[in-house]
Amino acid sequence: MPAGGRLLLPGLWLLGGLSCLLAAAGGDRRQVTLQYIPGSNSSSASLLHVRAVGRNDTLHYVWSGIGAPTVLLVYTRSESSALHVNWTKLLSASPAGAIWIEPPGSVVYSTAVVFTKVFEYNGTNASGLSKGQEEPFYPSYDLAGFSWQIVNQTALMAKFQGMNTVDPGGTSHNGTISFQVTAYEEGGRDSPLPRLLHTANSSKVEFIMDSVAPRGNKSRFLLEVVTVEEKGGHKRLQSVRSIDDEYTPTIFEMAQLVSKPRNDSVGPSFFQWKTTAYGSRDASRENAIRCRYYPLQTANRTLPGPSIAHAYFGEGLGRSHSIAAINISFSGEDGEVYAEKGYLSWSALLGFGTPPKDAFSPLVMAIVAVALGTPVVLLLAGALVVLFARRKRRSQYEPIN
Amino acid sequence: MVEPGGEEERPLLDSAQNDCPPRKALPPLCDPRRLAHRLLVLALMCFLGFGSYFCYDNPAALQTQVQRDMKVNTATFMALYAWYSWPNVVLCFFGGFLIDRVFGIRLGTIIFSSFVCVGQVIFAMGALFNTFWLMEAGRFVFGIGGESLAVAQNTYAVSWFKGKELNLVFGLQLSMARIGSTVNMNIMGWIYSRVQDLLGSTGHSTLGFTLMIGGVTCIFSLSCALFLAYLDKRAEKILCKEQGKTGEVIKLTDVKDFSLSLWLIFIICVCYYAAVFPFIGLGKVFFIEKFKFSSQEASAINSIVYIISAPMSPVFGFLVDKLGRNIIWVMFAIVATLASHIMLAFTFWNPWIAMCILGVAYSLLACALWPMVAFVVPEHQLGTAYGFMQSIQNLGLAIIAIAAGTILDSRGYLFLEVFFSACVCLSLIAVVMLYFVNHLTGGDLNWSAKKREKLQKLAAAEAEKREKLRRQKEDDLVKLQPKNDFSLRNRYLSKLGAQLPDNYSSYLSALAHRSVLK
């Protein structure tokens, strides 16, 4: 009988799970403000600035739809660091240096994540892409060519909605692609699936495709994500397999891009996601869409412009920074979940520090403890009773001899 | 012709034999007295249950397909299993009655087989028409036939093989059941993909056609039932034997007389099986998602429990018979099952290890648990006890199946495995309590076979003595009621857990209950 050929990791998961329960709780409260910065009069361009002030430090997340949707993550060792924007320069042909943090000396670490393109391909065979077979790709959606508007802003949440301006009457008419940003003041867990565990040092981005008409019977979508890391640093792709699927039922894998560990208190930056997307507004297990990712491409990548990453990191972006790209595909392995409702949502968490890791819930631990404990207690109690009964019986009858 | 019942059961006047037509010489295959003919009957008997076992686990083999094509969540999916169990909560009290009093074994078997067939067809129609409630209705009808058919199947076995190769026959029937389940697990996915190639797409009609093809096995079993009925009728004419009967008497008022030990055995049974069958029902997706198995590999590992128990059941049956100490075996089986569930829940170890342990433990438990009932219940209540056991087992399975589906949807497999482990722990608690209750009350459940044999001899001698005494005392009365002594001794011996010859065995009727034996 084929044993599957895989002797999997011997499980020290129980220990690991317990220890990371403490780690995940880390990251104390932060004062979070979500600020909408409108651009100059005529243009619809705008920025969303999430400023999370903690003790002795400030995190800046700068979201923008100028060019490709981008988020800048900046860690500063100052409670009063501030974002400055030179709008005329930002909207000009050479935006280098249009965005900066004041005072510049407080910046400890910065990184950026850019969502560049959405590909659509005909996935007759779900695993075809991984086997390296040629898949018929349709013309891709270049997200830099979309016009992005902020809709639906609340205290800690905002949604960038993109309309295809390149091809207004085209296939994606009425359909929207949006990125919903959620900032967190403290650690916790969202209630809708995939219920990612977050810290105060992180925020969530949800990639949503709504009513984008598929161009084929078996259309599958693929999102390209590019990360920018400072010179010397580079992102690594990790797959964290966990036995714990309590919060995201039947999903046992977390994928994450983690930068080189740092010696200071910040820790690395991370971008993590559970390997699932959902095909309905109210996500549930039966409308889950399998999410795959492909190896990280680091060689000879350039960041197509424009984007605020160019504005922040400056001219030498290609030379002085390491750029990595990853493709994430959403392919219902069996069936066309997207085609049913024309909806797809995929969540990822980005932030600083060690990436959060799920731990056993107290309920699980309580059930295990009670379930395993009771038979043992009963065995001991029973043994005592039997022993006692025997002694009593023996004492009643005197031996004859 | 030697009557298996011995002297006491032989009618005083050989009137029946006188009506027999003179026997002509028949070729061996057609002569009911010859082994060749009985082997033919045996083959028919085995295939009689094949269809129902094959189709019972159809949902498990096609879990992803059913959920996708019918667009149902796991809780609703598991209702397919629950609907199979619901009718049997009540029916297992009446299966024996229906066969003995209403239909007779031949007609009964045909009727139950038809129910299975019709049920499977309705089930497939539900998929074809994309109506899930029709699928559930199909499973309900299927359930009405399925369990009772197993009772009928075993009654046939008793009537044809009593006093001959009965244990072997039961063993073969069980193995056939396992083979049915295993073949189903491994072939349905393949059939589905072929139908998908044919129709060009997935969808509810693909599922419907696949299930219709699965239903062919039921038609096959129905034709076995018809042929068997013909052969049985013919044998009745030639051999002048009676129609087979389950001989089971159900008296619900007996329930109040059940001992604490029996109730503990019920708890063990319900909790244990609740942690095995619903798990197998949901297992395929678990192995695909957590262990990255391919669909075929997942089907294979999901059927390993059945594959292992086919050859292991006779081995363990023999072992437990020889060694006694049933409670220790049951405890061992439960602990092994717990270990395997914990392994599946908390580690990424190769799941083949855990599933093989589960398979072995499950076979061992079946062999050690069911004879215990015969030790703690007087013979005349055995039918009631087994009927009751099967009833609450079905109730438990139905409820747990739905609960398991709901848990999976909302909290995932880790929690589900923890839940199953808790169920196994509950049966562990029950068996520990049973051990002490038995110990304190001086019960015989945990005696070694040697001790049982010794006591059996002693008891037999004593019974003999008493019999003599009684014969001397009430000579006339004994002559008038020859059966009385037999049943008295029989009952006494069976209470001791003595190994009786097949034809004396008091719990033969109990063998007719499939679920308990599963």
pLDDT tens-digit profile of A184-227? 988 888 888 888 999 888 999 999 988 888 877 778 888 999 99
Residue A147: inside a domain, yes or no? Answer: yes
How much of chain B exceeds pLDDT 70, in percent?
A: 84
Q: How far apart are CA A383 and CA A3, in angstroms?
A: 42
Strands A176-183 and A202-210 turn out to be antiparallel
Instruction: Please compute the mean of the pLDDT values over residues B45-66 and round it to a whole number.
Output: 89
Contact A4 B439 (CB under 8 A): no
**How many C-beta atoms surround the C-beta of residue A51 within 10 A?**
20
Chain B residues with beta carbon closer than 8 angstroms to that of A386: 436, 439-440
Cβ contact B227:B143 at 8 Å? no
Q: How many CA atoms within 13 Å lie on the side-chain side of A389? A: 12
Give the minimum alpha-carbon distance from B494 to chain A in angstroms, rounded to a whole number: 27
Q: How far apart are CA B95 and CA B515, in angstroms?
A: 13
The interface predicted TM-score of the complex, written ipTM, equals: 0.83
> Which chain B residues are Cβ-neighbours of A252 within 8 angstroms?
289-290
Residues of chain A with C-beta less than 8 angstroms from the C-beta of B268: none
Take residue A303 and report the two structure tokens written for it: 């960041």
The residues near B294 (Cβ < 8 Å, ≥ 6 apart) are: B288
Q: Which residue has tokens 């395929």?
A: B284
Chain A CB within 8 Å of residue B72 CB: yes
Question: Has residue A374 been placed in a domain?
Answer: no
Q: What is the pLDDT of residue B127?
A: 93
Residue A321 lies in a domain: yes
Note whether residue A212 is domain-resident. yes
Q: Which residues of B touch A285 (CB under 8 A)?
A: 73-74, 408-409
What is the rounded distance in angstroms from the CA atom of residue A391 to the CA atom of residue B509?
Answer: 43
The reported pLDDT for the residue numbered B463 is 82
Smallest CA–CA distance from A374 into chain B, residue: B429
User: pLDDT class for B336, splitting at 50, 70, 90?
Assistant: very high
In total, how many domains does chain A have?
A: 1
Are residues B68 and A371, on separate chains, in Cβ contact within 8 Å?
Answer: no
Report the range of poorest mean pLDDT among A261-265, A390-394, B206-210, B442-446.
Answer: A261-265
Q: Check: CB of residue A103 under 8 Å from CB of residue A78.
A: yes
Q: Write the DSSP symbol of residue B448.
A: B
For chain A, give the secondary structure using H, E and C. Answer: CCCCCCCCCCCCHHHHHHHHHHHHCCCCCCEEEEEEEECCCCCCCEEEEEEEECCCCEEEEEEECCCCCEEEEEEECCCCCEEEECHHHHCCCCCCCCEEEECHHHEEEEEEEEEEEEEEEECCCCCCCCCCCCCCEEEEEEHHHEEEEEECCCCCEEEEEEEECCCCCCCCCCCEEEEEEEECCCCEECCCCCCCEECCCEEEEEEEEECCCCCCCCEEEEEEEEEEECCCCCEEEEEEECCCCCCCCCCCEEEEEEECCCCCCCCCEEEEEECEEECCCCCCHHHEEEEEECCCECCCCCCCCCCHHHHHHCCCHHHHCEEEEEEEEECCCCCCHHHHHCEEEEEEEEEECCCCCCCCCHHHHHHHHHHHHHHHHHHHHHHHHHHHHHHHHHHHCCCCC
Counting Cβ atoms within 10 Å, is residue B477 exposed (0-12), middle (13-18) or buried (19+)?
exposed
Domain that holds residue A227: 21-352
> How confident is the model over A262-313, as pLDDT tens digits?
766 677 889 999 999 998 888 888 888 888 899 888 877 777 777 888 888 8
For chains A and B, count residue pairs whose Cβ atoms are closer than 8 Å: 126
> Which tokens is A269 given?
């930056």
Q: Which of B425, B440, B441 to mutate to test the interface with A (most CBs of A within 10 A)?
A: B425
Is residue A303 in a domain? yes
Question: Given a cut of 80, is residue B14 above it in pLDDT?
Answer: no
Which residues, listed in sequence order, are joined to residue A33 by a DSSP beta bridge? Answer: A51
**Distance in angstroms (rounded) separating the CA atoms of residues B329 and B312:** 14
- Dihedral of CA A175/A177/A182/A187: which sign? positive
Taking residues B17-42, report their average pLDDT: 71
Chain A partners within 8 Å of B414 (Cβ): 243-246, 360, 364
CB contact under 8 A, A7 and B350: yes
**Given CB atoms, is B296 within the 8 Å cutoff of chain A?**
no
Tokens 């040697």, located at residue? B450
CB atoms within 10 A of CB B27: 9
* Angle between helix B326-346 and helix B304-323 axes, rounded to 10 deg: 150
Tell me whether residue A360 is in a domain.
Answer: no
Percent of residues, chain B, with pLDDT higher than 90: 35
C-alpha to C-alpha distances, B396 to B245, B270, B272, B330, B333, nearest whole angstrom: 29, 6, 10, 20, 20
Give the range among A146-160, A350-364, B144-158, B441-455 with minimum mean pLDDT. B441-455
> Searching chain A, which residue's CA lies closest to the CA of residue B203?
A335
What H or E segment, with its residue span, contains residue B381?
none
Report, as an integer, the average pLDDT of A337-353: 86
Rounded to whole angstroms, the Cα distance separating A155 from B13 reads 98
Backbone φ and ψ for A273, nearest 5 degrees, come out as -150, 150
pTM: 0.82
**CA triplet B518, B177, B30: central angle to 5 degrees?**
130
A364 neighbourhood in chain B, CB within 8 Å? 414-415, 418
B109/B46 Cα distance (integer angstroms): 13
Which amino acid is residue B361, in one-letter code? A
Of chain B residues 27-66, which have a CB less than 8 A from chain A? 64-65
Summarised one tens digit per residue, pLDDT across range A44-98 is 678 888 988 888 888 899 998 888 889 999 988 888 888 888 888 888 878 888 8
Structural domain contains residue A13: no
| Residues in chain B within 8 Å Cβ distance of A9 | 348
Residue from the list A4, A9, A245 with its beta carbon closest to the beta carbon of B413: A245
Q: pLDDT-derived band of residue A153, with 50, 70 and 90 as boundaries?
A: confident
For residue A36, the cross-strand partners are: A48
pLDDT of residue B72: 87
Neighboring chain A residues of B292 at a CB cutoff of 8 Å: 6
pLDDT digits (tens, 9 = 90+) for A7-41: 333 333 443 444 444 444 445 788 888 888 877 66
Residue A315 and residue A119: Cα distance in Å, rounded? 28
B242: part of which helix (H) or strand (E)?
A: none
Establish if A201 belongs to a structural domain. yes
Angle at B49 between CA B135 and CA B210, to 5 degrees: 40
Chain A residues in contact with B435 (beta carbon < 8 A): 382
Phi and psi at A44, nearest 5°, equal -85, 0
Ramachandran sector of residue B247 (left: φ over 0; alpha: ψ -120 to 50; beta: rest):
left
Q: Of all residues in chain A, what percent carry a pLDDT higher than 70? A: 82
Which candidate from A4, A14, A374 shows the least CB-CB separation from B425? A374
pLDDT of B205 strictly over 80: yes
Tokens of B341: 């569930």
**Average pLDDT estimate for B97-115:** 87
Place of tokens 């295990």: A368
Using the Cβ of B332 and the Cβ atoms of chain A, whether some distance falls under 8 Å is answered with: no
Give me the pLDDT at residue B15, please: 46
Q: Which two tokens stand for residue B138?
A: 């199909």
> Is the CB of A374 less than 8 angstroms away from the CB of B429?
yes
Of B160, B161, B388, B165, the C-alpha closest to B263 is B388
What's the whole-number mean pLDDT along residues A168-195? 80
Picking from B215, B286, B284, B280, the residue whose alpha carbon sits closest to that of residue B63 is: B284
Do residues A245 and B412 make contact, with C-beta atoms less than 8 angstroms apart?
yes
Q: Is A247 on the interface with B (CB under 8 A)?
A: yes
Comparing CB atoms, the residue among B297, B349, B409 nearest residue A284 is B409
Q: Cβ(B264)–Cβ(B434) under 8 Å?
A: yes
**Residue of B292, B293, B330 lying closest to A252 (CA atoms):** B292
Block residue for tokens 């099986």: B273
CA distance B236 to chain A (A): 46
Q: Among all chains, which residue has been given the structure tokens 């063990």?
A: B268
A346 touches A251 (CB < 8 A) = no
Provide the shortest C-alpha distance from residue B497 to chain A (in Å): 24
Alpha-carbon distance of B161 to B229, in angstroms, equals: 16
CB A84 within 8 A of CB A72: no
Q: What is the mean pLDDT of residues B159-167?
A: 72
Q: List CB contacts (< 8 A) between B290 and chain A.
A: 243, 245, 250, 252
Cβ separation of B348 and A243 shorter than 8 Å?
yes
How far is the C-alpha of B231 from the C-alpha of B235, rounded, in Å? Answer: 6
Rounded-to-integer distance, Cα A117 and Cα A181, Å: 18
- For the record, the structure tokens of B501 come out as 């010859």
Residues of A in contact with B422 (CB under 8 A): 367, 370-371
CB contact under 8 A, B440 and A241: no
Q: Are the C-beta atoms of residues B402 and B82 closer than 8 Å to each other?
A: yes
